[in-house]
Amino acid sequence: MPIDVIEHISGPRVFTGDGAGVEQRYIVRGTADEGEVRQALNDETADHYNIGLDGEFWIPRVHIDVEPIGEDTWDCSVRYATRTLTPLIDAEFSFETASGGTEHITQSRGTRRYPPDSILAPDLGGAIGVTDDGVEGVDIIVPKPIYTEVYRRPGSDVTNSYVMTLEELTGTVNNATFKGRAADEVLFLGAAGRKSGRWGHWEIEYRFATSRNRTGLVVGDITDIVKKGWEYLWVRYKDVVTPGPPPNALVKRPVGVYVEQVYPRANFALLGIGT
């Protein structure tokens, strides 16, 4: 099916100030593929626009904006300007560390035992909330800093393909150093975008949470445990009879520590906000 590029009846629109130039709108029909739409506009429109008499002053084509409006139909604009807009027009940054997050733990950092008179409390190896049926553990507050970055970007930057990339990156961790933090320490919580007017710039908010990589962890008699930032650590316990004191006490002791990767790794450079 041929692709038709039809010039909009509204004619060109002139801009002044930042990115001064001319914008021409088009309707493109005949494909559902954004890449084919952009290629058709690139082929069918001039790479320079004459805004002077007798060809005295030409300005270059700087970007193409496309937006689907129906089946195989697109509303598009081609801008010619005296200079290009910067890819990232403006940015804002914020962070939050006070609220923290919660984590369920079954092992303590240290234990004090207070047995009743003449009875010794058995050593549980740091297990918390031990019952006959298992180890209950406890929920604690842990650092889970939240970082927000807001960027204002030209409409041509925020394509359907880019939005799909944001969707795919949500719920992933960085596979390389990102914003000064080591691989596996940053979790992308997602993005929210908004645009003022049909032809305005996009404002996109990116949210991240961080958790430090840790080494040298100790659980009971198990040492040298390595846990990357967003991995999940859990402990397996076993009933063990201790020689005492008290003699022949049945206790639950850690017999295995498991560190699980629960989030996929991804290339955060695809966010387009620097690394």
pLDDT in tens, 47-72: 888 765 454 567 777 788 899 998 99
Could you tell me which of 261, 226, 251 has the C-alpha nearest to residue 135? 251
**Residue 235, token pair as written in the block:** 């402990």
Q: What is the pTM of this model?
A: 0.59
Tell me: pLDDT of 89 over 50.
no
Say which range, 2-6, 111-115, 188-192, 236-240, has the weakest mean pLDDT. 111-115
Quick one: pLDDT at residue 26? 94
Contact present, 275 and 178 (Cβ < 8 Å): yes
* Closest C-alpha to 2, from 36, 50, 42, 49: 36
**H or E element in which residue 163 lies:** helix 160-169
Q: What band does 125 get if pLDDT is binned at 50, 70 and 90?
A: confident
Whether the predicted pLDDT of 188 surpasses 70 = yes
More confident residue, 202 or 226: 226
pLDDT at 193 over 70: yes
Query: CA-to-CA distance for 139 and 135, rounded, in angstroms?
Result: 13
Tell whether the model's pLDDT for residue 136 goes beyond 70: yes
Sign of CA dihedral 167, 171, 175, 180: positive
Say yes or no to pLDDT of 88 above 60.
no
How far is residue 167 CA from its own chain's centroid?
9
Q: Report which residue type is found at 190.
A: G
Q: What is the pLDDT of residue 147?
A: 87
Please say if the pLDDT value at position 181 is more than 60.
yes
- Residue 172, both tokens: 């992933």
Is 174's pLDDT higher than 80?
yes
pLDDT band at 257; cut points 50, 70, 90 = confident
> Is pLDDT at 82 greater than 70 in this prediction?
no
Strands (E), the chain: 4-7, 13-15, 21-29, 48-50, 58-70, 73-81, 90-96, 101-105, 138-142, 146-153, 173-174, 186-195, 202-210, 214-219, 222-227, 232-242, 249-260, 265-266
Highest-scoring range by mean pLDDT, 105-109, 139-143, 163-167, 193-197: 163-167
What's the whole-number mean pLDDT along residues 249-274? 86
User: How confident is residue 85, by pLDDT bands cut at 50, 70 and 90?
Assistant: very low
| Better-scored residue on pLDDT, 203 or 124 | 203
- What CA–CA distances, in Å, run from 9 to 12, 42, 54, 179, 202? 9, 20, 24, 47, 26
Q: How confident is the model at residue 84 (pLDDT cuts 50, 70, 90)?
A: very low
**pLDDT value, residue 16:** 64
Q: What is the mean pLDDT of the chain?
A: 80
